[in-house]
């Protein structure tokens, strides 16, 4: 055995660039990217999000421009998230059911351009509620089944406006099956569902809540319906339930701190599995880069490659346009 090992030199394959490329086990491509964008009312608005450097809230006309950019770069899909005016928020999140709300107007405007681009929409009530929670409430208690009924109506409004992928992020029990049934019953059988199957009650969501305007309204926390960061077997149960109920794709959120969850779900179920590199992850890389503490571009690319290595079929990331430009320049 010692004689056999004496001939082994792992560094031979690492010695040159061409050899490293030849034996590379994973690759990041533009096809792996989903670009989340934030919407805001107005015209010609590009409103910076202070806690997310280089990320802006976009009026519908500007969102159309970014959609054209995404299509030109070969990014497969955008995920739309609205900043809802506080005057439109109420206890029930009724603006979510308005066919003329910000998300629906953006869907129709982008779809009218005829781009080769998928549009994904968030199904949850937190951008629309005055209390900042994802569901309807009775005092301090989240009402699961009543919320699911509301989410079904929200999903139908979005599908009618042109959403290609309904992405429920609320973590209510039974919502995937109910939404699938609602979509099918109204002729939206081809509308896909990407379930936020393992969405954790994480500290990494802060900048996102700033971007959609829910950080100042959230009362309490979301630990009664989002997952405990200590749990992993529970994530498998959540994913299995969503798949059985009709999810076409499943997602893990956040990303980097939960790569073990991505791997376990992919290995167990062999379904299209995605991860969300959330706002806190993005902000940390940008802040460290701005302070000169790390090479921002290398850290960005390395972090996304880690998702692929863990088994993710794609990543929702605010870095999407920058990464797509880099990948294009390297071809």
Report d(CA 268, CA 239) in Å as an integer.
Answer: 10
The three state secondary structure string of 280-311 is: HHHHHHHHHHHCCCCCHHHHHHHHHHHHHHHC
* Non-local CB neighbours of 190 within 8 Å, separated by 6+ positions: none
Residue positions annotated with a catalytic role: 199, 253
How crowded is residue 284: how many other Cβ atoms within 10 Å of its Cβ? 16
Q: Which two tokens stand for residue 330?
A: 């390297």
Helix (H, G, I), strand (E, B), or coil: what is residue 56? Answer: strand
**Residue 38 near residue 57, CB atoms below 8 Å:** yes
Rounded to whole angstroms, the Cα distance separating 67 from 72 reads 9
Residue with tokens 């009312």: 41
Residue 222 and residue 200 in contact, taking contact as beta carbons nearer than 8 Å = no
């Amino acid at each position: 055995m010692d004689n056999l090992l004496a001939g082994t030199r792992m560094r031979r394959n690492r010695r040159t660039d061409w050899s490293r490329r030849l034996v590379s086990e994973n690759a990041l491509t533009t096809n792996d990217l989903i670009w989340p964008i934030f919407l805001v009312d107005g015209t010609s608005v590009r409103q910076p999000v202070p806690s997310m450097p280089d990320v802006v809230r976009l009026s519908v006309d500007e969102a159309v421009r970014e959609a054209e950019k995404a299509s030109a770069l070969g990014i497969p899909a955008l995920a739309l998230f609205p900043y809802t005016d506080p005057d439109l928020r109420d206890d029930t999140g009724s603006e979510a059911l308005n066919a003329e709300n910000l998300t629906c107007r953006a869907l129709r405007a982008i779809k009218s351009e005829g781009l080769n681009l998928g549009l994904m929409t968030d199904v949850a009530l937190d951008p629309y509620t005055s209390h900042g929670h994802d569901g309807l409430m009775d005092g301090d208690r989240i009402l699961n089944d009543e919320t699911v009924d509301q989410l079904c109506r929200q999903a139908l409004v979005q599908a009618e406006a042109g959403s290609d992928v309904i992405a429920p992020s609320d973590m209510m029990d039974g919502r995937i099956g109910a939404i699938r049934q609602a979509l099918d019953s109204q002729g939206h059988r081809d509308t896909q569902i990407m379930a936020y199957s393992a969405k954790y009650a994480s500290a990494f969501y802060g900048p996102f809540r700033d971007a959609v305007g829910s950080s100042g309204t959230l009362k309490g926390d979301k630990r009664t319906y989002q997952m405990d960061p200590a749990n992993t077997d529970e994530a498998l149960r959540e994913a299995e339930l969503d798949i059985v109920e009709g999810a076409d794709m499943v997602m893990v959120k956040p990303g980097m701190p939960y790569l073990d969850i991505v791997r376990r779900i992919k290995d167990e179920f062999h379904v299209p599995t995605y991860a969300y590199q959330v706002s806190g992850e993005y902000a940390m890389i940008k802040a460290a880069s701005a302070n000169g503490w790390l090479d921002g571009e290398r850290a960005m690319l390395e972090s996304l490659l880690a998702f692929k290595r863990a088994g993710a079929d794609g990543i929702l990331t605010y870095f999407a346009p920058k990464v797509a430009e880099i990948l294009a320049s390297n071809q």
